[in-house]
């Protein structure tokens, strides 16, 4: 007997009129409150964003600072 392949797909967990992709897409569009991203996906994305922010910060700190308007005085009273 063959085993059923494990899936993380939400499409298999939803029972709708037919198993067709078009119907599932329509159902998702009509019921946005019932469809949420998986915890695994949101954790992965959160981790990716943290990593991206850390890389960006490292790049900014590693880069040389340049004086944009060196001859102008710094008056913040205007």
Query: Dihedral angle at the C-alpha atoms of 58, 62, 63, 65, nearest 10 degrees?
Result: 110
Note the helical H segments in the chain.
21-30, 39-62
| Token reading at 61 | 């700190």
Q: How far apart (Å, rounded) are the C-alpha atoms in residues 69 and 55?
A: 28
Residue 74 has pLDDT above 90, yes or no: no
**Tens digits of residue pLDDT in 7-58:** 666 665 666 566 677 777 888 888 888 878 889 999 999 999 999 999 999 9
pTM above 0.85, yes or no: no
Q: Provide the residue ranges of all domains of the chain, joining segments of one domain with +.
A: 21-61
pLDDT of 14:
61
Contact between 4 and 12 (Cβ < 8 Å): no
């Amino acid at each position: 007997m063959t085993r059923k392949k494990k899936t993380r797909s939400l499409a298999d967990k939803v029972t709708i009129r037919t198993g067709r992709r078009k119907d599932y897409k329509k159902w998702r569009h009509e019921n946005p409150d019932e469809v949420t991203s998986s915890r695994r996906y949101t954790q992965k994305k959160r981790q990716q964003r943290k990593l991206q922010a850390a890389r960006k910060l490292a790049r900014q700190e590693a880069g040389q600072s340049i004086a944009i308007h060196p001859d102008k005085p710094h008056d913040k009273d205007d």
